[in-house]
Amino acid sequence: MAGEIYNIVKLVPRPEKFNELVEAFKTLSKHVQEQEPKTQIYFALQPPKSQELIIVEKYTDIDNLKAHAGSSEFKTFFKAVGPLLAQPAEIKTSSFVGGFDGRAKL
């Protein structure tokens, strides 16, 4: 896979663990924003009437993704949230095929 890489990650927490999962993600996303300048998009969504957390990520290239996944902060995050999850994380690594993923700022 060449060029930019997108990940769509679905995390399903155990009952009553959604807020803990969100707080762990907020800590990680703050680190990503401050320390991973090549990571272009990194945010989480909650579908309506769901306790799922959907994370959207965009990396400049495979090296950027590998650096993120290999960071101690990411490893700490996954170790911490493992017991909070009702099922394994579902990760879909994707390539951009059309549309737009941002608007130019004037």
Q: Which residues pair with 93 in a beta bridge?
A: 7
Helix or strand or coil: residue 53?
strand
Task: Give the model's pLDDT for residue 1.
Answer: 47
Task: Please check the confidence at residue 3 and state whether its pLDDT lies above 90.
Answer: no
For a pLDDT cut of 70, what percent of the chain falls above it?
96
Structural domains in the chain, sorted by start: 5-94 (3.30.70.100)
Burial class (CB in 10 A: 0-12, 13-18, 19+), 25: buried
> What confidence score (pLDDT) does residue 105 get?
72
Instruction: Share the mean pLDDT of the chain.
Output: 94
In this prediction the pTM is: 0.91
DSSP assignments along 19-46, one per residue: HHHHHHHHHHHHHHHHH-TTEEEEEEE-
Q: Are 59 and 65 in contact (CB under 8 A)?
A: yes
Q: Which pLDDT tens digit goes with each residue over 17-51?
A: 999 999 999 999 999 999 999 999 999 999 999 99
Q: Are 53 and 11 in contact (CB under 8 A)?
A: yes
